[in-house]
Amino acid sequence: MTPTQKALVQQTFAQVVPIADQAAALFYGRLFELDPSLRPLFKIDLRAQGKKLMQMIGYCVGKLDALDEIVGAVQDLGRKHAGYGVKEADYGTVGSAFLWTLERGLGSAYTPEVAAAWTAVYGVLSTTMMSGVKAA
């Protein structure tokens, strides 16, 4: 992940923040459309879950220049998700739903460069989450 990619992610996430609730709803709708078997993994209200999702993404985006500070928290998140029944293969589906959501939410601001930047960030975060499961 390059400094330019980090900056693009931070700039475009600032555009997502005002539509965070809508983006979360789009994300979960797309996720369950792609893989309906994931729906039972979510036992709480999806609005509350969406708020947690957007807060965690915001936290990680804010720490892109200091990733070493969040590795432990992201690995813990991976372990928690494994406990909920999330499998390694599910990360691909989540990534697809997330990038689709960004494309819809950002509209014309979702350029190929922005897509590549978010793909890189998601790759780092999802790999870190999975490493937490493997280390446990």
State residue 105's pLDDT score.
95
pLDDT surpassing 90 at residue 83: no
Mean pLDDT of 12-31: 96
pLDDT, one tens digit per residue, over 98-130 is 999 999 999 999 999 999 999 999 999 999 999
Identify whether the C-beta of residue 48 lies closer than 8 Å to the C-beta of residue 99.
no
Domains of the chain: 3-135 (1.10.490.10)
Report the distance separating Cα 14 and Cα 66, nearest Å.
Answer: 18
Question: Residue 102, SS3?
Answer: helix
How many residues are there in the chain?
A: 136
pLDDT, one tens digit per residue, over 31-81 is 999 999 999 988 878 999 999 999 999 999 999 999 999 999 999 999 999
